[in-house]
A and B are shown apart, each in its own frame.
Chain A
């Protein structure tokens, strides 16, 4: 029997760069190799840069949490290739539905690093305008957003957007191995399949749903779940940025062409804890962590680029400087986030005035202003009647 949590040699997995950074030339992968070959050295350096910056963001955010500046943080360490590689395949008009760990995707999508930490700071439930970056805010109830992605894709279909591999519009939903057990994820694939919706289900199997290994979620390799719903499904080496890019580009183009949904399992590893509140020493071995440290996605791309002569010290210094800039930006920007005035809690509960919220807000404002109790009462009562 094939395990889904071991070496997985038996499971067909697309790989274009081996862990040492050598080009892999497995038979039957020419289409993917051609897609990767179309990337210029500049593109590859851009991917490398965004992967390094994502890890730097991780380190800075973890430090800020340790300093008490963030309530919580969910690191993406180890998943940079899965996230940056897939995000590089997106076009501006495509729409992203992330979970809460897609820091690399949001880095490529251009969401300000400070905005990405508003949620973890406890100063905002979201952090950015989804329409500004075509990227939704974090989704915390596991898997719920995969249905939103599918519905959004059904909207794209109804808009009559062109069926074109570059100018069409695709939607991508990011979720993890734990999420594959959720009803919503399965319903999302049902709805996507029967509607032929232009959505890519991008699973990052990082092997751990907090403390539970993938064997607690499935008896079969997870990419087979997609196939069972009738979706073209593929397993890629999630630590190989080229394979992830090529596979995601193929799936996104299928969606943009009006050819329906796809499923990608990016097989990777959560090198860090689930969140800053987690303690992985209670449920996994340091040997396993060590083994995966040897398959670090950033080291792999760096080794390849160096061998190709495309990564020199000057560029490394530039990336380092960009990282320092993000660090400084975060340290000042995050500390300045205070969530606004407490009364802002009453903002945006409804898009149109709601009598109960209006009355409670009026009472709270009077209370904060130190008005005598009788007057608070009168104000609340008046507003209740008036703010219909």
Chain B
């Protein structure tokens, strides 16, 4: 079995400001720095996608990387998502670690077959003889006023497929660390980037250790005692704002950032809910058959006697993602989460 060695990045090469390894970065820039660090660390790491070269990607997440690493390692591909993922599988079989960019969430479906029937199963199909360490980066989620196919949250479709890991960072620091851990992981990882939070700023320790913790472990963003708000990706910020509002009302909410939807860190969720007795799950994806349903089932199985109220979910509706004019009402808002908290306390 391959283990991922812990490593610490030195900032040698990016030089003069090396005195302090902590910088303030946007989440998008943090992914960019994480990609750069991974490419410097391992020359088998390469990027593939549409418009990721001179343009730097439509969100500029790969900005400057082709200039630094060349066209063989930062590849502007033909406009064909199945082709991107399918060739990445072959490259991985030859020993490379491709990181594919799917330009928008709604464009991943031409690659759905390659991801679910090939990428997810190759390791199992070969009884472990072949590993396919491919990362699929997908800017996802809404809130940016976009047109159809540019605001979706399809993570449950991938989490339902054994063989894939599905993660989503919520902060610049996690974005920086998680992208490196995803690249170092021998399993395929679908890496959902909360595009509505690309411009969120935060401190990033560029020397933060890279292991595998963020791919498997949730973390407590805010400790609390009365209710657990479980979120990931873009919804973590919503959960934190809700916790602020609750604090003003004298209620103490614990905010748990799952980071990974596959696997779900059930132990962390259970530990929190056993303490608070109430659990609200928040995600932008439709509630129906969403990650929240899985979490609610697990919490009910493992915390039955600790629960003061049923587990509640706040998320998207069972409709196509709405037109931009209506997305504010569709997305889980602080008000809707507060409403759920009130319902939980009314039990």
A contact set with B: CB distance below 8 Å: 124-126, 129-131, 136-137, 141, 144-159, 183-184, 187-188, 190-191, 194, 347-352, 354-357, 359, 381, 384-386, 388
- B162 engages A357 (CB within 8 Å): yes
- Asked if A352 and B130 make an inter-chain contact with CB atoms under 8 angstroms apart, the answer reads no
Q: Which residues of B (1-60) have their CB < 8 Å from a CB of A? A: 1-4, 46
B152-207 interface with A by 8 A CB criterion: 162-163, 165, 185-187
- Which of B93-101, B242-250, B283-291 binds A? B93-101
Asked if residues A184 and B114 are in contact (CB atoms below 8 Å), the reply is yes
Give, as a whole number of angstroms, the nearest-CB distance from B159 to chain A: 9
Would you give the shortest CB distance from A169 to chain B, in whole angstroms? 10
A148 CB contact (under 8 Å) in B1, B110, B118, B162: B118
Distance between Cα atoms of A129 and B122 in the complex (Å)? 12
| A351 CA / B89 CA spacing, docked (Å) | 15
Is B86 a contact of A148 with CB atoms below 8 Å? yes
Q: A194-B78, A388-B216 are in contact. Are A349 and B86 (CB under 8 A)?
A: no
Are B87 and A351 in contact, CB atoms less than 8 angstroms apart? no
Which residues of chain B come closer than 8 Å to A148, judged between CB atoms? 86-87, 89-90, 93, 118
Which residues of chain A come closer than 8 Å to B186, judged between CB atoms?
A: 351-352
A351 touches which of B85, B86, B128, B262 (Cβ 8 Å) = B128
Q: Is the CB of A350 within 8 A of B266?
A: no
Q: How far is the CB of B203 from chain A (nearest CB, A)?
A: 26
Contact of A352 among B2, B124, B264 (CB under 8 A): B2
Instruction: List residues of chain A with CB within 8 A of the CB of B267.
Output: 355, 384-386, 388
Tell which of A153, A184, A356, A359 touches B86, judged by Cβ atoms closer than 8 Å.
A184
Shortest distance in angstroms between B296's beta carbon and chain A's nearest beta carbon? 16
| Complex contacts, A381 vs chain B, CB 8 Å | 270, 302
Contact residues, B95-134 vs A (CB, 8 A): 95-96, 98, 110, 113-114, 117-118, 121, 123-131
Cα distance A156–B91 in the bound complex, in angstroms: 8
- Could you give 29 example pairs across A and B, Cβ below 8 Å? A125-B121, A125-B124, A136-B93, A137-B125, A141-B117, A144-B86, A144-B113, A144-B114, A145-B118, A147-B82, A147-B86, A151-B92, A151-B93, A154-B87, A155-B93, A183-B82, A184-B113, A187-B78, A187-B83, A191-B83, A194-B78, A347-B127, A348-B123, A350-B187, A352-B2, A352-B3, A354-B262, A385-B270, A388-B263
Contacts of A152 in B (CB 8 A): 90-91, 93-94
- Further pairs besides A141-B113, A147-B86: 19, Cβ < 8 Å: A125-B125, A126-B129, A129-B126, A144-B86, A151-B91, A152-B90, A154-B87, A154-B91, A155-B90, A155-B93, A183-B82, A187-B80, A191-B83, A348-B124, A348-B128, A349-B163, A351-B128, A354-B165, A355-B265
Chain A CB within 10 Å, residue with most, of B92, B163, B263: B263
| Closest chain A CB from B304 CB (angstroms) | 11
Alpha-carbon separation in the docked complex, A159 to B46 (Å): 13
- Given the complex of chains A and B, what is the CA–CA distance between A265 and B212 in angstroms? 47
